[in-house]
Amino acid sequence: MKKLDMIYEGKAKKVFKTDNDKKYIVDYKDDATAFNGVKKGTIVGKGVVNNKMSAAMFLMLEEKGIRTHFLELLSDRESLVRAVKILPVEVIVRNVVAGSFAKRLGLEEGTEIKETILEFCYKNDELGDPIINDYHIYALELATREQLDKIKTDTFKINDIMKVYFKEKGIRLVDFKLEFGLYDGEVILADEISPDTCRLWDLATNKKLDKDRFRRDLGEVEETYQEVLKRIQG
């Protein structure tokens, strides 16, 4: 597989064309940003962890019947994926109160949420990914009703699968963000699943095992990313 022109560089990943127009190569970086790009830094080894963890998560989800963009791990930092068109909607799933949700509604971080909450954000960095609902998605034509229905069904399934999966690794799945893309007209799971995109707390101690260590300057950032990968692979 030939790595050709870079078509996109985001905060944490680069995407390259290949000699097959249905396949892209994703290259994971160590760059870290938070608070809509205001805080910047490097987490040494993060790209490797996020690449390998995403691969493991996508393979696990595929086995359980979820279609994803993932095809093959190519190297420490690179994966081969299906060339999807990312839908400009970020899907956030909340099982436990944390982050912006705690702030917005004045709730205490760590409180178990009685029913799983889905939130949608308009994927637009300039606007700071504003929260939107189904009506905004239809009116702005970010996705059709059929596409959003598929996203919701898949997202609930993914949450059920991931909650059990992480529990077996001694991890509480607090919240996470998903992105979906279009491939041959079908909505499939894309982007990444990593400590950058999930809040993961140790089941026994509630220690934060995710990007909040960087966001909130909690220390042991690099070590924590390695620890999560070790638990996923163990």
Q: Interface with ligand UDP by CB under 6 A: which residues?
A: 92, 98-101, 129, 175-177, 196-199, 211
Q: 114 by DSSP, 3-state: which?
A: strand
Task: Say how far apart CA 51 and CA 162 lie, in whole Å.
Answer: 17
- What is the closest distance, in whole angstroms, from the C-beta atom of residue 226 to ligand UDP in the complex? 18
- What is the closest distance, in whole angstroms, from the C-beta atom of residue 171 to ligand UDP in the complex? 13
- What is the closest distance, in whole angstroms, from the C-beta atom of residue 234 to ligand UDP in the complex? 22
User: Of 233, 202, 220, whose CA–CA distance to 96 is shortest?
Assistant: 202
Q: Please name the amino acid found at residue 151.
A: I
Give every CB contact of residue 157 below 8 A, 6+ residues apart in sequence. 64, 65, 66
- What is the closest distance, in whole angstroms, from the C-beta atom of residue 184 to ligand UDP in the complex? 26
Q: Is the Cβ of residue 3 or residue 215 nearer to ligand UDP in the bound state? A: 215
- What is the closest distance, in whole angstroms, from the C-beta atom of residue 160 to ligand UDP in the complex? 17
Give the Cα-Cα-Cα angle 214, 111, 124 (nearest 5 degrees): 50
Is residue 143 within 8 Å of residue 89, measured between CB atoms? yes
Is residue 178 within 8 Å of residue 155, measured between CB atoms? yes
Task: Say how far apart CA 69 and CA 62 lie, in whole Å.
Answer: 10
Q: Is the Cβ of residue 98 or residue 190 nearer to ligand UDP in the bound state? A: 98
Q: Is the Cβ of residue 27 or residue 196 nearer to ligand UDP in the bound state? A: 196
Bridge partners, 16 (sequence order): 6, 25
Q: Is the Cβ of residue 166 or residue 176 nearer to ligand UDP in the bound state? A: 176
Q: Is the Cβ of residue 4 or residue 161 nearer to ligand UDP in the bound state? A: 161
